[in-house]
Amino acid sequence: MISKLFNFIIVCLFIFCLHFSGQAQAIELTDDIQVHGFLSQGYFLTSDNQLFGSSDSGGSLDFTEAGLNASWSPFTDLRFGAQALFRRAGPRHEHDIELDFGLLDYTILSTADSRFGVRLGRVKNPYGFYSETRDVLFTRPTIILPQSIYADATRDLALSADGGLFYGEYRNDWGNLSLDLEAMIPRGESLDTEIVTLGADFPGNTYSKLSYIGRLIYDLGDGRYRMAITAARLDTRYKSKLLPPDDLLSGKEIFKPLVVSMQYNQEKLSITSEYAIRSSTTTGFGSEFDNSITGEGYYLQALYRFSDDLYAVGRYDAFYVDRKDKNGKKFQDNTGYPAHSRFAKDWTIGLRYYVNPSFLLAAEYHYINGTAWLLPLQENLDPFDLEQHWHLFALAAGLRF
């Protein structure tokens, strides 16, 4: 543990020196072309269970996020943008490099109080308050987002997709409205998606079909009050390669989340809460896997600003796989699997210190009852090996330019 903590400190010093070496500056190639980037390194230590590497054996440094994006605006109403991501997050995500987004953004109409446009290509999915910027340490309230809404196990499906998005904004004395409507093909080819959908790694492949998502945000009092509602219909398929019992029959899952988001902001205090209800229907796999279930999740979070540089955050986050069996007892009686694999209740406290606008240090502690959001991650495929009550300590350093 001491050696890994020392390594984390070395990484933080490297990021800090990188900033003051003058490299951490936004790059403007021309008036129309800009390049930005970010880098963050995390350290995770758990009392039991594993998260992003061998976190229960002296801690893990196997969590790195880095991104480089560029935008070009040849005309006032036209913008091209793209971002490449590097992510290291445990054994199955050791050197992930992906196109986060790559799009054409065209403003159809722009007036003093309104703006309408379209984005085409690989676009960020409008989901809740934080999904579009979830990979940047500076733009999420904690190192780990509330898993009841922003589960890392379904990150690939939620982050971005290939398709088209219509957006509109309208500003008035009674508040601001923004609307996003997207038709897309989600990124459903990952092993994480297969494990979340089917519970295991099967010989076949997962993929996605045409899906939809929409979000409406109402902003009042220059951001003092924010309210949003997000609804989606995601179509994920599985194509078998072999015949049973070696493989499943081909089938599909229709996932329909509905998220209600609310936020209240003052100069020193911000209170945020989001509630999600998720219906999921799987068909075609066979009687053992075909079912319909409705899950539920919510969190309540308070962020207090001691100064412009120092923030504290506290949060309670609850997630239930089946809202009709929140304690998992029926599931345990029917399957023999642990009841705690069907829920997770997470108490979180944390601190964030902005050394300067480009360099951030964060620390947080979690006490967690349950393993529902932990179970689908790559290090924890056997629910019988997991402890119901566990502790998590996390550190992170971030740089942006």
Quickly count: other Cβ atoms within 10 Å of residue 205's Cβ.
15
Is the pTM above the cut of 0.85?
yes
Four-CA torsion 298, 213, 157, 389, nearest 10 degrees: 10
Instruction: Extract the tokens encoding 19.
Output: 């900033």
The Cα–Cα gap between 226 and 260 comes to: 11
Query: Can you tell me the distance from the alpha carbon of 263 to that of 62, in angstroms, rounded to the nearest whole number?
Result: 33
Neighbouring residues of 304: CB distance < 8 A, sequence distance ≥ 6 = 268, 269, 311, 312, 313
Report d(CA 368, CA 232) in Å as an integer.
28
**Residue 260 contacts residue 243 (beta carbons within 8 Å):** no
Which class would CATH give 2-400?
mainly beta
Alpha-carbon distance 209 to 234, whole Å?
8
Looking at residue 6, what is its pLDDT? 45
pLDDT, residue 178, reads 96
Q: In 3D, which of 188, 63, 76, 189 has the Cα closest to residue 137?
A: 63
State the Cα–Cα distance between residues 333 and 259, nearest whole angstrom.
31
pLDDT at 279: 93
Quick check: 230 and 259 in contact, CB under 8 A?
yes
Taking the C-alpha atoms of residue 294 and residue 275, their distance in angstroms, rounded to an integer, is: 13
Closest C-alpha among 228, 249, 141 to residue 180: 228
What does the block give as tokens for 245? Answer: 């019992």
Rg for the chain (alpha carbons), in Å?
Answer: 21
What is the pLDDT at residue 23?
46
- CA atoms 107, 108, 114, 119: torsion sign: negative
Q: How far is CA 18 from CA 24, 49, 362, in A?
A: 7, 34, 18
Q: What is the pLDDT along the chain (401 residues), one digit of tens a residue?
A: 555 554 555 455 555 555 554 445 556 566 678 899 999 999 999 998 888 888 888 888 989 999 999 999 998 899 999 999 998 887 766 677 889 999 999 999 999 899 999 999 999 999 999 999 888 999 999 999 999 999 988 888 888 999 999 999 999 888 999 999 999 998 877 666 776 766 667 777 788 899 999 999 999 988 899 999 999 999 988 888 877 777 778 888 899 999 999 999 999 999 999 999 999 988 887 766 678 899 999 999 999 999 999 999 999 999 999 999 999 999 999 888 899 999 999 999 999 999 998 999 999 999 999 999 886 665 666 788 889 999 999 999 999 98
Give bridge partners of residue 277 from the DSSP assignment: 258, 296
Pairwise CA distance, residues 98 & 115, whole Å: 30
- Rounded CA-CA distance 251/236 in Å is 9
| CB-based contacts of 168, cutoff 8 Å, min separation 6 | 114, 115, 116, 117, 177, 178, 179
Which segments of 149-246 does DSSP mark as H helices, in order?
155-159, 191-198
Q: Under a CB-based contact definition with an 8 Å cutoff, are residues 270 and 230 in contact?
A: no
How many angstroms separate the CA atoms of 397 and 264, rounded? 27
Predicted local distance difference test score (pLDDT) of residue 381: 65
So what's the pLDDT on residue 182? 97
Q: Output the six-digit token pair for 45.
A: 């230590």
C-alpha distance from residue 146 to each of 169, 224, 256, 322 (Å): 28, 22, 19, 18
Q: Is 170 helix (H, G, I), strand (E, B) or coil?
A: strand
Distance CA(401)–CA(26), nearest Å, equals 5
- Element (DSSP H or E) covering residue 156: helix 155-159
